[in-house]
Amino acid sequence: MSSHFYENPKVMKTDFQFIEIPIDEALKTYTLEQLKILSSKFNWLMQATIYFKFEQRKPDRGSICEIKIASFGPSISAKSNQRDYETAVELTIHDLESQLTKRMSVLHSR
Containing structural domain, residue 57: 2-109
Q: Low-confidence residues of the chain, pLDDT below 50?
A: 6-10
- Specify the pLDDT at position 3: 55
- Residue 95, number of CB atoms within 10 A of its CB: 16
> Domain total for the chain?
1
- How does DSSP classify residue 67? E
Q: Tell me the pLDDT tens digit for each residue of 42-51.
A: 888 899 999 9
* Domain of residue 62, CATH code: 3.30.160.100
The pTM of the full predicted model, rounded to 2 decimals, is 0.85
